[in-house]
């Protein structure tokens, strides 16, 4: 109740769960013995909730937090872990007679997998509420794309603080119907809003004509000090720590504020300080005992663009093609917009007379994270288990920042930056490092080409799942662009003519590409 009312904060709740679990573990044998002697059956608690990160996705911090919070409120939680198929979810739900199913996911392909689970629940005539959560989910997407696949409640849950109230109502015979009706009304409003939205999309040919323009005769194009790849195995964690952006760390624990100002916040400041201090102690343990290992690989290749594709060459002769990276172009015409961008615009065209380069990278700080987190879980210590994973995520992002700085130095324009760590985190430098699956390049399948170029799995141990999530979860990959005017942007909605052209360039069927670009389609399929 205190947590839901904002008077107690998530780190404190998870810490209290540690005490509760150890107490319950000690008392359970005695309680069961007494019940058996009295002829009583085991108590079911307030309800049984099944949680799972969907097939193809490996991220589970948010799901784990929700599980702890629900358990603290006397709900029985069955956590199936990560990369769980629809078949497994339905099988366990039936076997365990659960009251609610909760799905989690971080990457955009997980949205389609959630819709698939909803469809399967309908096919087997389940009458269970379905909860949807995770960084890539939204109330609008849930209403428009997932809820129509199922005949019963599909509820978007924003964060752990909302989960208890939602599950309480869905597990109550008296309150479920009223909650379901209110949820349906809200979702109908979201669907109506979505259907009535006015989005002006220009044809793909026009977007190409109105691309971002560069004076290729005069623009500065740096040459990297090497081409090919370089690998960093077991990179010292202590060298990565100074590059950590701590603000997202607090967000993971639902403490909203910018580091270090968050410590001065009147309500959450003390909780943030305690969490930060615990994080520092855990980092010291990780470094002293070498519990996590960080690995990275990065490289540069001679490159040239042809419209929305970037051709990479095997060597400086530029005679033999090594690979092609495919990009998408903005089409949503917003007020005051002068051009429609594609990442390919930041690479010199093949017919420009200039020689350009593209970089790429993959890093992980997750080697050992799951094992260490599991050790804490087995001790009933969810707090330190989640702390390890949240720190590993921050270390991976920090490693990406560190390596990007090194890449800029190798490219010949980063040595004179003289930027502080805060300025690096705020991206005050030249160049960008967009990642496949994110707004400027929403197609996750492009990671395959990058991983082949970097030999990423052999060099770092990072693997791609069926949905192109990276395993270990605390991993980051992307591209390096050095164009002095390069900046991040969102591709957003796409017309069918661009998607058709993109499918043709990639040698894939339209249906397959529409599946991977589902959240970005500006038309119904």
Domains of the chain: 44-196 (3.40.50.280), 204-520 (3.10.196.10)
Among residues 59, 326, 404, 444, the one annotated as catalytic is: 59
In the annotation, is 57 catalytic? yes
pLDDT of residue 336: 83
Is 110 noted as a catalytic residue in this protein? yes
CA distance 392 to 475: 9
Distance of alpha carbon 276 from alpha carbon 295, whole angstroms? 25
Pairwise CA distance, residues 30 & 330, whole Å: 64
Query: Strand runs (DSSP E) across 105-211, as ranges?
Result: 130-133, 154-156
Question: Is 460 in contact with 516 (CB distance < 8 Å)?
Answer: no
What pLDDT shows up at residue 77?
96
pLDDT of residue 523: 93
Q: Residue 385: how many CA atoms within 13 Å on its side-chain side? A: 24
CB atoms within 10 A of CB 256: 12
Radius of gyration of the chain (CA): 25
The whole-number pLDDT of residue 421 equals: 87
111-117-118-119 Cα dihedral, nearest 10 degrees: 110
- pLDDT, averaged in runs of 10, over the chain (525 residues): 63 82 61 62 74 97 94 94 98 98 96 98 97 96 97 95 94 95 98 88 97 98 98 98 98 96 95 98 98 99 99 98 99 90 99 98 98 95 97 99 98 91 93 98 98 99 98 98 98 97 98 96 92
Q: How far is residue 411 from each of residues 161, 192, 235, 478, measured CA to CA in Å?
A: 46, 50, 21, 16
Q: What is the value of pTM for the model shown?
A: 0.94
SS (H, E, C) 407-475: HHHHCCCCCCCCCCHHHHHCCCCCCECCCCCECCECCHHHHHHHHHHHCHHHHHCCEECCCCCEECCCE
Which one is catalytic: 57, 356, 410, 443?
57
* Active-site option among 104, 110, 342, 477: 110
């Amino acid at each position: 109740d205190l947590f839901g009312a904002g008077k107690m904060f998530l780190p404190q709740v998870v810490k209290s769960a540690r005490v509760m679990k150890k107490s319950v573990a000690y008392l359970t044998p005695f309680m069961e013995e007494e019940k058996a002697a009295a002829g009583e059956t085991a108590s079911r608690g307030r309800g049984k909730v099944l949680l799972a990160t969907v097939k193809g996705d490996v991220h589970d911090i948010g799901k784990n937090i929700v599980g702890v919070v629900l358990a603290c409120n006397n709900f029985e939680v069955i956590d199936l872990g990560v990369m769980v198929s629809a078949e497994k979810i339905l099988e366990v739900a039936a076997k365990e007679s659960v009251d609610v199913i909760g799905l989690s996911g971080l990457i955009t392909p997980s949205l389609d997998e959630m819709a698939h689970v909803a469809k399967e629940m309908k096919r087997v005539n389940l009458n269970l509420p379905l909860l949807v959560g995770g960084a890539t989910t939204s109330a609008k997407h849930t209403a428009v794309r997932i809820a129509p696949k199922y005949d019963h409640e599909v509820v978007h849950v924003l964060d752990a603080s909302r989960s208890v109230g939602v599950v309480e109502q869905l597990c109550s015979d008296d309150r479920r119907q009223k909650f379901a009706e209110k949820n349906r009304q809200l979702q109908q409003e979201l669907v109506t809003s979505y259907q009535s939205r006015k989005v002006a999309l220009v044809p793909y040919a026009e977007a190409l004509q109105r691309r971002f323009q560069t004076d290729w005769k005069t623009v500065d194009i740096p040459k990297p000090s090497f081409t090919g790849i370089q690998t960093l195995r077991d990179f010292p964690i202590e060298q990565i720590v100074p590059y950590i952006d701590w603000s997202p760390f607090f967000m993971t624990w639902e403490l909203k504020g910018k580091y270090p100002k968050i410590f001065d916040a009147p309500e959450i400041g003390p909780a943030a300080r305690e969490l930060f201090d615990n994080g520092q102690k855990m980092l010291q343990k990780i470094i002293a005992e070498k519990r996590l290992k960080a690995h990275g690989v990065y490289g540069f290749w001679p490159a040239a663009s042809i419209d929305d594709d970037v051709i990479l060459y095997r060597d400086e002769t530029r005679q033999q093609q090594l690979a092609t990276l495919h990009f998408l172009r903005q089409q949503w015409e917003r007020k005051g917009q002068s051009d429609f961008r594609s990442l390919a615009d930041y690479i010199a065209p093949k017919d420009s007379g200039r020689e350009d380069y593209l970089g790429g990278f993959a890093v992980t700080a997750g080697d050992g994270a799951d094992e260490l987190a599991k050790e804490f879980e087995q001790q009933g210590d969810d707090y330190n288990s989640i702390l390890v994973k949240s720190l590993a995520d921050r270390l991976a992002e920090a490693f990406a920042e560190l390596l990007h700085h090194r890449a800029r130095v190798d490219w010949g324009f980063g040595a004179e930056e003289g930027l502080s760590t805060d300025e690096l985190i705020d991206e005050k430098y030249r160049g960008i490092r967009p990642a496949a699956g994110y707004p400027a390049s929403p197609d996750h399948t492009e990671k395959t080409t990058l991983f082949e170029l970097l030999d990423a799995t052999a060099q770092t141990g990072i693997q791609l799942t069926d949905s192109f999530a990276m395993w270990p979860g605390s991993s980051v990959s992307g591209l390096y662009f050095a164009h002095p005017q390069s900046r991040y942007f969102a591709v957003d909605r796409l017309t069918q003519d661009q998607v058709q052209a993109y499918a043709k360039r990639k040698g894939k069927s339209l249906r397959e590409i529409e599946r991977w670009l589902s959240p970005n389609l500006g038309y119904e399929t």
